[in-house]
A and B are shown apart, each in its own frame.
Chain A
Amino acid sequence: MEVKDANAAMLSNYEVYQLLTDLKEQRKDSGKNKHSAGQQNLNTIMYETLKYLSTTPCSRQNPETVKNFLTTMVPHKLTKAEKLQLLNHRPETAVEIQLMVEESEERLSEDQIEELIQKVTDVLPGDPEQEGSAPSNEAEMGEGIDQ
């Protein structure tokens, strides 16, 4: 076996989540040989990875939201890795943004950080349990949650 390119493309959590969910559907239909010894590894890793990813914001995303997110991020001039982390984690506080964006004190002013949080929480769907209020209030709740 030969590895041609160990870093051909970065994948968002959403893409992997989608791939695994589709694979699970496919395997459910085929039925008979999922439980053979050779398939156990695939079953284990699929189950565990899906379990982990379903607790992250990516489980509530769809291709539309990802595309909208990337379009809204264009004016902020963030690197690919930074945008990927924002997409995977959906940060809601300034402290989280500072962790994910390198040298954020130099590159972003406080207002820009607020703007970034606002855009992230608007475009990417949040956890309905956590937000706990009527959909009409969602735009205001994004900024002022006291937990």
Chain B
Amino acid sequence: MRSPPIPEMATQEVQLNETLAHLKTESETLKTKLEEERAKLHDVELHQVAEKVEALGQFVMKTRRTLKGHGNKVLCMDWCKDKRRIVSSSQDGKVIVWDAFTTNKEHAVTMPCTWVMACAYAPSGCAVACGGLDNKCSVYPLSLDKNENLAAKKKSVAMHTNYLSACSFTNSDMQILTSSGDGTCALWDVESGQLLQSFHGHAADVLCLDLAPSETGNTFVSGGCDKKANVWDMRSGQCIQSFETHESDINSVRYYPSGDAFASGSDDATCRLYDLRADREVAIYSKESIIFGVSSVDFSLSGRLLFGGYNDYTINVWDVLKGTRVSILFGHENRVSTLRVSPDGTAFCTGSWDHTLRIWA
């Protein structure tokens, strides 16, 4: 025979359920209010505002250099501030530093894990950071002595509980921002390996991140498998804005050069532009004929062009203001997995599952 519930416990449970119900109602009300507020500001489309802007001319961009040397899929790359060196990482565990002008390999490191999904060049040009299935982000100082074993000086900085998907130095060699399959982003002190701040809010793997241009303050944007792009305050750890309009994983996010907007690329085959001050999506870059996911996006120096690397092996070049495609580039023989414009905007580099990197200009 079941004993009746103790009256006190029953009252408590009723109270908890009431509190939960109140909170749920409040969250629904707030969500509706947010949607209404954002809709009020939608008085015009970006391409309408850009109607009077001169159309872009014909673009002739070709592969100018091919960097061969990786033994497997290239997963990530980053430019050095000197505008000529590049670091790239691969599924085979190798991290290579190249001189993109001459195509010479300057350094090579073999990581203890395969699938090195993330790599980044330090602002000073004196170190690189990388990581992947080892769940860590490690920093390797680059030696001028070619014979020196880079692996010996390796410093483990970040520790996540799942794969490292992206990493970036902040504006100095002293701090690194990471994103992970464990659903979080984190800010680390390179010297001590200490966790300075963690960023919780994504409901699934975080796949990408980008730091706001230094003039616009301490924020960064991240994108994940929960289809959300979140903007974070680096000091407080708070998520200050969130956008959920993509229909699938967000593989890449990149700030517009002024810092007032950012672009995203997704498995839903679209790139989108989000305006931070209007707090909404303001453009979608898509075509019915484009059905494969976007792995990586970046802007040209003025922000007028958006380059997207796709899983169908192509690069699509979009007119950011008018919303139209201006060019499609062929050359890679497998998925384009990573794409970055050089620091002085003279070229952009792509990495691919075809084991090569290409420089386009």
A binds B: no
